[in-house]
Amino acid sequence: MTEITHIDGVDSHPDWSRIPEHARHVLLCTGPRCTQRGALQLWKTLRRRLLEHQHIEVPGGVLLTRTHCQFPCNLGPVLTVYPERCWYGVRSKADAVRLVDVHLVGGDVVEALLIREHP
C-alpha cells in the first residue's frame, strides 16, 4: 500500500509527482458557460468511455484534463485535443462517445464536431 503524506499541509501521493503516460492531451472546458451546457456530464462520459477502451493515462492513450474558459464559449462545451490542435464543440453524450471512438481511440479527426475559425 502506498502511503499518502502531507507536504505543506497538502496531501501528497507518489503518483502525483509524475506526468501520467499519454499520447494525446484532451482539455475539456468546465468554465461557467460550458458547465451550464453540460460539460461536467460530458467529462464523466468521456472518462467512462476512455476507461472502457483502457485508453486513459496509458502509453498511446489520453490524459483528460478539465480547464476553465477556453473560448469560444457560445460554441461549447469546448474540448481541445493535442498534439493535433483540434478544437471541438461537444454538445451531447453521443458527440462525446463519437469523439472517443473515432479520434481518441481510432485516430481520425471528427470533422463534423470541429469548431471552425469562420463558421
Structural domains of the chain, with CATH: 20-113 (3.40.30.10)
Query: If pLDDT is split at 50, 70 and 90, which confidence band does 98 have?
Result: very high
Cα gap 94→18, rounded to integer Å: 32
- Beta strand pairing call for 5-7 and 62-67: unpaired
Annotate 4-22 with b (16+ C-beta within 10 A) or e (fewer). Answer: eeeeeeeeeeeeeeeeeeb
Residue 14 has pLDDT above 80, yes or no: no
Return the number of other C-beta atoms located less than 10 Å from residue 84's C-beta.
11
**Given pLDDT bands bounded at 50, 70 and 90, which one contains residue 86?**
very high
Q: What percent of the chain has pLDDT over 70?
A: 87
pLDDT tens-digit series, residues 31-84 = 999 999 999 999 999 999 999 999 999 999 999 999 999 999 899 999 999 999
**Which segment of 10-14, 89-93, 105-109, 110-114 scores lowest on mean pLDDT?**
10-14
- The predicted pLDDT at position 1 comes to 56
Instruction: Quote the pTM value.
Output: 0.86
Confidence band, pLDDT 50/70/90 cuts, at residue 117: confident
Structure confidence at residue 2 as a pLDDT band (50, 70, 90): low
Q: Of 16, 76, 66, 72, give the one whose Cα is nearest residue 44.
A: 66
